[in-house]
Homo-oligomer: A and B are copies of this chain.
Amino acid sequence: MANIRDLAKEAGVSVATVSRVLNGYPYVSEEKRKAVWEAVEKLNYTKNIQAVHLAKGKTRIVGVMLPYIHHPYFSAVIEGISKEALGCGYQLLLFQTNYEVKRELEALERLRMKQMDGLIVCSHEADWEVFAAYREDGPIVLCERAVGHDFFTVYIDHYQAFAQALRYLLDKGHRRIGYCIGRTTGPNSQARAAAYRDVLGSVGVIPQPQWIFDGCLFLEDGKRVIERWMDMKERPSALLVTSDQVAAGIVLHAQRVGVHIPEELAVIGFDNDPLAEMLGMTTVALPHLALGEKAFRLLHQWLETGNVPRTQEELPARLIVRMTG
């Protein structure tokens, strides 16, 4: 495969001139410009992008770290990132971690190695300290709140979102309130746990540990929740469900087994997935797409200008009352 030196020889110019032509720089005579393009044609030349990356020290690639892809939450976030990246001519390199610290470290190492210009962390497992250690190696934007660390972040205010829904349930008279969550670690989960404690505590209700359903990620997990719920001696009268997929699973399975929603069990989902609307589910709308978009925009601005105005941006959530809670 021809390289830029072959081109130079063919066109009878220097490599510098070839580079100028290829990159559309001024100060090249029309005839040489033409000669170069003809050589490109003749030798069927294409740039080796790796050489460009090496020479420029930039790649216009950003890494995206996330646990899974096939999940409505994360695929919405990537979609948002991707949409923006496309518009700016950036490419996305995926780092699926399955929430394994080892894999998260791999992604960070890649940042060090200059494989990409920056990294967006959609969700993580490792301690923030680990991420902080790579701060010098390239811009990192987080999609989760990192209290006590001055990372650049865009995040959904899950405390507020959770608190909002909880207060709504309290106002409706619920006192036995549980919740379903994907995992218990992670800042988002902790924020929700804090809201749960705080809000229930404020009215003197003691949270019941067995009313917290862990590992709720997908639709089918909703079925499990209903089954466990039915087995309980003391059942919660309302559930906050941190994913509409799971909430939908709950609502649909409840229907099947004859559990009345919301009379026997009120359900409030999160996300405002189209499914929530379709099922008439009360839900807290979370701006996932916007989260991805903003995360990318922040990173982009950082990359282009070297600094950014604000380091944290909080995206609001809003309760949409429909019929299940």
Residues of A within 8 A of B (CB): 46-51, 53-54, 59, 61, 68-72, 75-76, 78-79, 82-83, 86, 91-96, 98, 103, 109-110, 112-115, 137, 218-220, 222-223, 248-249, 252-253, 274-275, 277-279, 289
Contacts and interface: CB of A to CB of B under 8 A. Distances in A.
B110 A49 contact: yes
A220 B274 contact: yes
Contacts of A83: 96
B70 A75 contact: yes
Nearest to A103: B86
A121 B15 CA distance: 35
Oligomer copy total: 2
B79 A69 contact: yes
A223 B278 contact: yes
Main SS at interface, chain A: helix
A227 to B, nearest CB: 13
A136 B26 CA distance: 33
Contacts of A113: 46-49
A76 B86 contact: no
A48 B114 contact: yes
Contacts of A61: 93
B59 A70 contact: no
A93 B46 CA distance: 20
A112 B50 contact: no
A65 to B, nearest CB: 12
Nearest to A110: B49
B46 A54 contact: no
B274 A252 contact: no
B96 A69 contact: no
Contact of A59 (B50, B51, B92, B96): B50
Nearest to A107: B91
Contacts of A78: 69-70, 94
B219 A278 contact: yes
A116 to B, nearest CB: 9
Contacts of A112: 46
Nearest to A83: B96
A49 B115 contact: yes
Contacts of A249: 274, 278
Contact of A114 (B49, B98, B223): B49
28 contacts: A46-B112, A47-B113, A49-B113, A49-B114, A50-B50, A50-B53, A50-B54, A50-B115, A53-B53, A53-B54, A54-B54, A70-B72, A70-B75, A70-B78, A70-B289, A71-B75, A82-B94, A83-B96, A86-B96, A91-B93, A91-B95, A219-B274, A219-B278, A220-B274, A222-B278, A223-B278, A252-B278, A275-B275
Given A86-B96, A91-B93, A110-B49, A220 B75 contact: no
Contacts of A94: 78, 82, 91-94
Contacts of A103: 86
